[in-house]
Amino acid sequence: MNKFKKILLTTVFAVTALSVTSLAACDNDKDSKKFALSFETNGAASIAQETKEEGSTYTLPTPSRDGYEFEGWYTDPSFSGSPVTEITVSADVKFYAKWVKLLILTLYANGGTVNTTTLTVKEGASIYDAVKNIVPEKAGLTFGAWFIGDNEVTSSTLMTADTTLTARYKVAYTVEIYVQKADKSGYELEETKSGSGYVGSAYSASVTKEGYEEVANPDAKIEGNLSENASENVFRHYFDRLSINLTFKVSYPDGTTSDDFVLSDVAAGTE
């Protein structure tokens, strides 16, 4: 009989302890809150909703999307504020993925050489910033700039679609200025100037010389398009001396002056 009572009491105590433990566990489950974390991937593969306990730390996943670069998760669908990478869970939250399209920039060296021919550039980014340190080379020429068609790439040129840039080069040219000799027996080279311009562009220098007038001459070359061969870019201007009249008047110590003394048809530049 005593043995039976002992077994009964042991059983009662065990059941009571189990009940207390179960109640405590139920109370703990009741106190632990959980929140839903959902994701709007905006064109990427969907991401399943996560359920996390309040106070826990959660690191957001990094999605991928062909042809785009991920720019972060935002809690606002208009992407205001700063991107979120990690949170401490305290409420239901929906995250929105922000993307930027990636476009292809093709570089055509136009007969020269360049260390890269294609770049991936974000939509809306500056094309100038993407290529400002890329300098193609071509023998005998100096790189001028990158162009889209006839338009030079500047700091305000933005990437809006897949685009091809063409390198344009500058070439040297020489300007020779010939003046009429004092005795008007012919011409002599007085001055040589140099410059540069884009290959294929028109030479249009405006050359003037005081006391002279530019004249036609069989050897003159005052216009033309710049060739890749700098030796072909030699332009020659010819000038005749203008004839002028020199008038002299002598002033005497007594304050009187002489009649005018005139030298007519004096060639400019002569002594």
The answer to whether the beta carbons of residues 152 and 145 sit under 8 Å apart is yes
- Rounded distance, CA 165 to CA 229, Å? 24
Q: ∠ CA(157), CA(158), CA(161), 5° rounding? A: 125
The amino acid present at 73, given as its one-letter code, is W
Q: How far apart are CA 238 and CA 223, in angstroms?
A: 13
Q: Which of 22-26, 29-33, 80-84 has the lowest mean pLDDT?
A: 22-26
Does the pLDDT of residue 152 top 70, yes or no?
A: yes
**Is residue 102 helix, strand or coil?**
strand
73 class by beta-carbon count within 10 Å (0-12 exposed, 13-18 middle, 19+ buried): buried
Structure tokens at 107: 């570089």
Task: State the pLDDT at residue 204.
Answer: 82
pLDDT at 30 over 50: yes
54-104 pLDDT, tens per residue?
999 999 999 999 999 999 999 999 999 999 999 999 999 999 999 999 999
What digits encode the pLDDT tens for the residues 112-137?
A: 999 999 999 999 999 999 999 999 99
Q: Cα(221)–Cα(174) distance, rounded to whole angstroms?
A: 11
What is the distance, to the nearest Å, from the Cα of residue 61 to the centroid of all Cα atoms in its chain?
33
Tell whether the model's pLDDT for residue 256 goes beyond 60.
Answer: yes
In sign, the C-alpha dihedral spanning 176, 215, 242, 211 is negative
Asked if 98 contacts 79 with a C-beta cutoff of 8 angstroms, the reply is yes
Residue located via tokens 């344009």: 168
Please check whether residue 142 is in contact with residue 196, taking contact to mean a CB–CB distance below 8 angstroms. yes
Count the neighbouring beta carbons within 10 Å of the beta carbon of residue 136: 21
DSSP classification of residue 250: P
- Give the C-alpha separation, 114 to 137, whole Å: 7
Interatomic CA distance for residues 159 and 106, integer angstroms: 12
Amino acid in position 196: S
pLDDT in tens, 211-232: 899 999 999 999 999 999 999 9
- Write down the residue that tokens 């700063």 correspond to: 82
